[in-house]
A and B are shown apart, each in its own frame.
Chain A
Amino acid sequence: MTLADFIVTNAPALLVAIPLFAAFTSPAVGKISTAARNLWVMGAMLLTAAVAFILAFRVFSTGTVIYVFGAAATTLAVPLDSGGIPIRIIFTVDAMSAFMEIICAIVGTSVLLYSLSSESKNTSLEGYYALFLLMITGVFGMVSTGDFFNFFVFLEILSLASAGLIAYRIDGGLAVEAALKYFVLSTLGAILVLFAIGIYYGQYNALNIAMIAQRMQFTMLDKIALVLLIAALAMKCGAVPMHFWTPDAYSMAPSSVTAFLVVASQASLYGLFRILFTFYNVTLNCVTVGWIIIILGILSMVVGVTMAIPQKDVKRLIAYCAISQTGYMLLGVGVGLAVLGNAALSNAFGFVAMEGGIFHIFNDAVFKGLLFLTAGAIFYRIGTCDLNKMGGLGHNMKYTMIFFIIGALATAGIPPFNGFASKLMIYESVYLFNPILAIIAMVVSILTLAVFVKVFHSIFMGPQLPEYADVKEAPLPMLIGMGILAAIVILFGLFPQLVVNGLVAPAAHALTNQGGYISSVLGGA
């Protein structure tokens, strides 16, 4: 067996194994020299991204890939002597998981490249890189696993690593305070998830997602488990009214970490959608639960953007906008869920709404990542995030300014950027479902634009301030990291149809197709 075959066969395992190995070895490599560690960490990240792309290509061309740990063959989900129960740990990578993996690979690579120079002035970098790679492990694990207990384990790896990184800059205790808030909440969330796992295991004797989905009865206990899971995961993805940790954590973490925290929140969003569509699907009371998700989405959109307006700290402001963008994803997928049981409505607009919501996950990860990275570049050069102290930076930081414009306009949903493409899909389909919701969504977009016009003006416009006269442009690795994301924002905005047909539609199909997920693991059925 050649190396290429080995990588293709074991891609799902390598996706978690490479960053995990690199995370724990990077402090040792760092003892040799800083350059060696940077090379080691970046190499591991590029390798992981390459494996993720190979795997995603395989999933999009041939369908769901399963990987069984420790079995005679990696595709042998149900051992012959187990009585039809998939007893081993399984990674099930369907189109939706592959979609999330592409996001994580792209954002992870550009953020790591960015942090090579943005964090270079700081001390105890060995911890930074180890924790960052653990975050990557956590996200990849959460989106690929086909075993619900493993989902909990990766969720905890992700929260522990994220909390460590949020507190990383200490900042007179402020960052630790933010990290504490985040970590106590996510631990409580994780305990709720574990309770739900116990409830499923007690009823169905299974931890495998496909097995639980197949046996799902929607009893009273399942309803309790559903409530626990929605509460925990909606909190983890920062939906209003459980968003209190988001602005603190996003603003106190180093910008590079914040850009990846957006992806981490979206991994929780993925978990939420996976539970709703793969565990329950039509056994659920789709209309009620769909409306709960829609209301969470609308609340997040409105509260997020109105809280963004008075903010004085640029990262806090972007964090509130991130909450409002999460609302769009919840709205789109919620509408898709609300009409899931009705084939006519689903075909008319429900499916397009889901595609819009899922497409927006990708777009949000890219443009919010870009905005946080530009905020980080500004902080790197002038040492403050306070909007009142900034001004006239457009004279010195031209590229950063261009990247900020791209990110801000994409967030507000202005063509030709990618935010427009996904928001248009959401507006059109949600309008058919309920016009008021679509109008709220548009008004929120306009407010977002207003917020960013104000921010843009106070950061970059105006005369050059004397104290910033000799501010230089951000260093090259940071510009490349931002450039990758900006290029994707523009490309996806110019060719949305390609992306929708190639990536988003298969992902949305995979998410709604519960039977396909079950049969890919358990066979037949």
Chain B
Amino acid sequence: MLWNLPFITVVVLTFIGIVTVLLKKNLIKILLGINILESAVNLFLVSLGYREGGVAPIFTLAPSELMVLPTPQALTLTSIVIGVATSALVLSFAMVLHKKYGTVDIDKIRRLKE
């Protein structure tokens, strides 16, 4: 049970993230929801890569035995970087929209015709 804790956290975070994205009206809060979802995925990837008693793949310190494959950590780093770009872009959209519309409430950002 205890070693499933990271995965349970992933599920909880995913749930919180999706609810935030779907129910919140404030653009900044929606972005926070997306960020929570991203963290959930990152935690998922890192938890997948964890091996009990594994040796970290740092060549200078490691004893000469089998080491853990660092792929999930590499994936997580890439995904964090992409997440930063995503947040920056959404925030800049929010800035422009606030300047033009005077609000970041998505119910009021509806000038495009249906």
Taking beta carbons and an 8 Å cutoff, which residues of A are in contact with B?
149, 153, 156, 160, 163-164, 167, 170, 172-174, 176-180, 183-184, 187-188, 190-191, 194-195, 197-198, 201-202, 205, 207, 248, 252, 313
Contacts and interface: CB of A to CB of B under 8 A. Distances in A.
A201 B71 contact: yes
A291 B88 CA distance: 40
Contacts of A179: 93
Interface string B68-103: 010110010011001001100110010011011100
16 contacts: A163-B89, A164-B89, A173-B97, A173-B99, A177-B110, A177-B112, A180-B109, A183-B89, A184-B30, A188-B21, A191-B34, A191-B41, A194-B45, A195-B41, A201-B48, A201-B72
A156 B90 contact: no
B37 A167 contact: no
The list of the 8 closest CB pairs from A to B, nearest first, reads A173-B100, A202-B48, A180-B93, A156-B82, A176-B96, A194-B41, A198-B44, A191-B37
Given A177-B111, A184-B34, 9 more contacts: A149-B78, A156-B86, A164-B89, A167-B96, A178-B112, A191-B41, A198-B41, A202-B48, A313-B113
Contacts of A205: 69
Contacts of B38: 191
Nearest to A150: B78
Contacts of B112: 174, 177-178, 248, 252
Contact of A180 (B41, B71, B97): B97
Q: Which of B45, B99, B112, B113 has the most CB of A within 10 A?
A: B112
B93 A176 contact: yes
Nearest to A170: B96
Interface in B13-60: 21, 27, 30, 34, 37-38, 41, 44-45, 48
A179 B97 CA distance: 11
Contacts of A194: 41, 45, 79
Given A173-B101, A201-B48, A207-B71, A160 B86 contact: yes
A201 B76 CA distance: 13
B100 A172 contact: yes
A177 B72 contact: no
Contacts of B101: 173
A164 B113 CA distance: 21
A174 B101 CA distance: 10
A74 to B, nearest CB: 21
B97 to A, nearest CB: 6
Q: Which of A164, A195, A198 has the most CB of B within 10 A?
A: A198
B37 to A, nearest CB: 5
